Structure 1
Amino acid sequence: MPPKTAYHDALGDYFAEHAGISPYNAYTDRPAMLELAGDVDGAKVLDVGCGAGHYAVELLARGAQVVGVDGSRTLLEHARARVGERAEFLLHDLEEPLNFAHDASFDGAVCALVFHHLTHRVQLLRELHRVLRPGGWLLVSTTHPAADWRHFGGSYYADDWVELPLRGSPFSIRFQRMPLEMFLGELLAAGFALERLVEPRPVPRLREVDEAAYTKLQQAPSFLAVRLVRP
């Protein structure tokens, strides 16, 4: 059975197109995460939940060697079409151990807007700690708990699983709400040290594309993004 946490078939096709142009993905989350990555020239990077290869393209352009993993065949087809042979892409259920990777075999890892979809997050974090070399870095982005609180209501401290309809489409995505202390607590308990935390804002060029979205994203947070290091 295909992993429940991945985007399959028509949802995968929708996400592949949407992630390339969305104010949230293309103009807010991805620029912030790439800024957190810094200089990746010569680094071997694991793209965890690589989707349609949008991060792989950017990391390759900056000189990284990229291995992308995702549980969706649909999205990996898009990634290979976008990137070609310049990166290695693997079909892998992120709820399972990263048994394809040796200890200390990566310089860095990117986990963009995937963490909150997963059930076995603690296991994944332990695996990332294992496959990163000492001093290696991990970037994680997730939905902002304040944004989830505003949208779904109830208690800010709720950690329930929710369904979010994707506006303008017949699809929805399922993820777990997490207050800030839960999100950071899981990362730190896995042995990582926090270097930076940012609340991504849209890049200025979004204003020329969609001024309403730019104004909205400047006023209310949508995501959290962190850079951690493996001691």
Structure 2
Amino acid sequence: MSGAGAQPPGPGNAYHGALGDAFARHSGTSPYNAYIDRPAVLELAGDVTGAHVLDVGCGAGYYAAELLARGARVTGVDGSAALLRHAAERVGGRAELRLHDLETPLHFAADASFDGAVCALVHAHVEARDRLLAEIRRVLRPGGWLVLSASHPTADWRHFGGSYFDGSWVDLPLPGSSEAIRYRRLTLETLMTEWLAAGFTVERLTEPRPLPALREIDAALHERLCAEPSFLAVRLRNPAGPG
């Protein structure tokens, strides 16, 4: 495991090849994904019936599948061809899936063409975060929403140690795999500053706890994750007026 001082990932910062396959397997059943982050993101998204939703960094399609089941029309984008193959298997032809480097503008989407967007555990993998947030806001209709989740800054601090304000790239091994995911440590101050600088307003911020169902699978893990923060999840709004 690498901590502070790790270098940024390769082009696109996506989970390519074997890493993409390993992450697709891991994210399907990991308690952190299945019992904390996905439920929190979907709860903040709320009623998506009839909404056109952009899934930014859609990965293996787990969020897209849930959004589709709730009545949304979904466009998913990711920089990993490996993950998009898994997403295509999961959603079939029910969603539009695009291979797209999130470090570049969302040139495929017109202004105000989406009602909402989700960006789950993707933000810290992107270097051009200010441009990505600006692009998401551009493609959202006035009054549209963005639900974004990120690793909790204090969880990273507890795990990697050092200074809380360390903004280095770090590696987090995937359990049961030789692969590791790489992302940048971000403080709460950094996250809030970036969201507000992009012109969004904050409607709600949560520090999600695991679903009670996890207790039936692993009571000790459920108790620990109820006491230690893992993620932040926020619902942002694209103001209806000029910003």
TM over 0.5: yes
Distance in structure 2 (CA, Å) of the matches to 1:216 and 1:25: 16
Q: Secondary structure at the match of 2:92?
A: helix
Q: Secondary structure at the match of 1:86?
A: coil
How far did 1:5 drift? 1.1
Of 115, 119, 132, 1:111 maps to 119
Q: Provide, for residues 151-173 of structure 1, a one-character-per-residue CA deviation record: whole Å limited to 9, x for no partner.
A: 11111122111112223321111
Partner of 1:43: 51
Partner of 1:101: 109
Output aligned runs, 1:9-24, within 5 Å.
9-24=17-32
- Higher normalized contact order (CA 8 Å, seq sep 6+, divided by chain length): 2
Q: Provide, for residues 94-151 of structure 1, a one-character-per-residue CA deviation record: whole Å limited to 9, x for no partner.
A: 0000000000000000000000011000000110110000000001100000001111
Distance in structure 1 (CA, Å) of the matches to 2:175 and 2:66: 27
CA contact (8 A) 2:28 2:62 kept: yes
Distance in structure 1 (CA, Å) of the matches to 2:97 and 2:145: 20
Of 189, 193, 200, 1:181 maps to 189
How far did 1:211 drift? 2.0
Q: Give RMSD over aligned pairs.
A: 1.0
CA contact (8 A) 1:29 1:141 kept: yes
How far did 1:4 drift? 4.1
Partner of 2:137: 129
Q: Secondary structure at the match of 1:85?
A: coil
CA contact (8 A) 1:137 1:230 kept: yes
Output aligned runs, 1:47-196, within 5 Å.
47-196=55-204
CA contact (8 A) 1:202 1:218 kept: yes
Q: Which runs of 5+ in 2 are unaligned?
A: 1-9
Equivalent position amino acid for 2:77 in 1 = V
Distance in structure 2 (CA, Å) of the matches to 1:213 and 1:118: 30
Q: Which runs of 5+ in 1 are unaligned?
A: none
How far did 1:85 drift? 0.5
CA contact (8 A) 1:3 1:71 kept: no
Q: Provide, for residues 70-106 of structure 1, a one-character-per-residue CA deviation record: whole Å limited to 9, x for no partner.
A: 0011110111111101000000000000000000000
Distance in structure 1 (CA, Å) of the matches to 2:69 and 2:87: 15
Partner of 1:223: 231
CA contact (8 A) 2:12 2:103 kept: no
Q: Secondary structure at the match of 1:32?
A: helix
Equivalent position amino acid for 1:97 in 2 = P
Distance in structure 2 (CA, Å) of the matches to 1:177 and 1:78: 27
Divergent runs of 4+, >3 A: none
Counting aligned pairs with the same residue, the percent is 67
Q: Secondary structure at the match of 1:24?
A: helix
How far did 1:213 drift? 2.1
CA contact (8 A) 2:26 2:174 kept: no
Equivalent position amino acid for 1:211 in 2 = A
CA contact (8 A) 2:147 2:234 kept: yes
Equivalent position amino acid for 1:104 in 2 = A
TM, length-normalised to structure 1 = 0.97
Distance in structure 1 (CA, Å) of the matches to 2:179 and 2:100: 23
